Amino acid sequence: EAEVAQSPRYKITEKSQAVAFWCDPISGHATLYWYRQILGQGPELLVQFQDESVVDDSQLPKDRFSAERLKGVDSTLKIQPAELGDSAMYLCASSLSGTSQETQYFGPGTRLLVL
């Protein structure tokens, strides 16, 4: 069964350092999402890509976060510099074309701890 891949699964870093997360969506899925999930809360959308284009990054803290999907396939989310409040699970999801009746499939997530 096709799955969304993410790496690393866990990351511990010190504040002010840079971190990067990678996501490879299900093959053929045009839409890719990055979410942040703080413990005890639901996932919150950070950025949505349609192919290589950003379609929604309204909740992305652009002073420190950046995301790219250069070839419209895999994607990287970067945080620089990391802050203590960035400790969370970072989830990547993909869907076929991003319409309202499509399911989003989630990867295993990257758990980030900022010390």
Partner 1 sequence: QKEVEQNSGPLSVPEGAIASLNCTYSDRGSQSFFWYRQYSGKSPELIMFIYSNGDKEDGRFTAQLNKASQYVSLLIRDSQPSDSATYLCAVMRYGQNFVFGPGTRLSVLP
Q: Per the structure block, which two tokens stand in for 60?
A: 């992305």
Choose which of 1, 27, 40, 71 interacts with partner 1 (CB under 8 A): 40
> 34, 48, 77, 112: which one contacts partner 1 (CB under 8 A)?
48
43 interacts with partner 1 by CB under 8 A: yes
- In the complex, least distance from residue 105 CB atom to partner 1, rounded to whole angstroms: 7
Query: Considering only residues 41, 63, 70, 71, which one is a binding residue for partner 1 as defined by CB under 8 A?
Result: 41
Q: Which residues contact 114 (CB under 8 A, 6 or more apart)?
A: 13, 14, 15, 82, 83, 84, 85, 86, 87
Q: H or E element: which one contains 65? A: strand 65-68
d(CA 10, CA 21): 10
Which residues in this chain contact partner 1 in the complex, by CB under 8 A? 33, 40-45, 48, 56, 89, 91, 99-101, 103-109, 111
